[in-house]
Amino acid sequence: MARSVLMPALRWTGLAVLVLAQLAARSSAAPQQACAVARPGRVPATAEPEIHNLEERVKAGPFYRELVTQLGKPASCTLEFDDGRIGLTFAFARRAQLIVRTDRKIESNEQRIQIPRMEMAKAMSLLQAAEKDAYRPNGCGIAWDHADEDSVDERTGSHELVYRGGTCNCQARVTSRNNYAVSLVLKSAC
């Protein structure tokens, strides 16, 4: 008697587990949502391929990969578009952000990550990887052996190092507090 009652219940439970597993597999294999537009209606259809390509390049880059490795997938992504200028902001856990700005008219590009803290050696290695990724294959000629600028902000207690390269006025910046990097920037303007 107990067997005849339990068998249908076990079948339904097994079927439910199978369906949920398939749904979970589909959702994890589904492509990530595109960034949400900050001001809907302001992005022309002709700009969509450029925005999509930028978002894909960012997601394949070292800054994004490092943040995902350390903090998991972003909680949100916002897209800003204004007369050819594109901005993407990925918000991660612990108030970390990846901010990307590009303006094709003046050939300006900037990638910035804001993080709670990162070991300086790791931050410098990440900046160097970002340079090589952005300016393939050899980077933009940043002289990593010495900083062009070295400043301390007494008010905030932050320390900023600026490294410059010879191509397209490229530069890398690392801002630190208490000997930990809190902001990394790679930018250029041709």
Span 89-141, pLDDT tens digits: 999 999 999 999 999 888 899 999 999 999 999 999 999 999 999 988 888 89
The pTM assigned to this predicted structure is 0.78
**Percent of residues, the chain, with pLDDT higher than 90:** 56
Tokens of residue 111, six digits? 């990638």
Tokens of residue 13, six digits? 């439970």
- Measured CA to CA, the distance from residue 71 to residue 169 in angstroms comes to 32
- Measured CA to CA, the distance from residue 184 to residue 190 in angstroms comes to 20
Of residues 127, 110, 87, 118, the one with CA closest to residue 180: 118
Span 64-103, pLDDT tens digits? 999 999 999 999 999 998 888 999 999 999 999 999 999 9
The answer to whether 167 touches 187, Cβ cutoff 8 Å, is no
- Measured CA to CA, the distance from residue 159 to residue 16 in angstroms comes to 56
- Give me the pLDDT at residue 135, please: 87
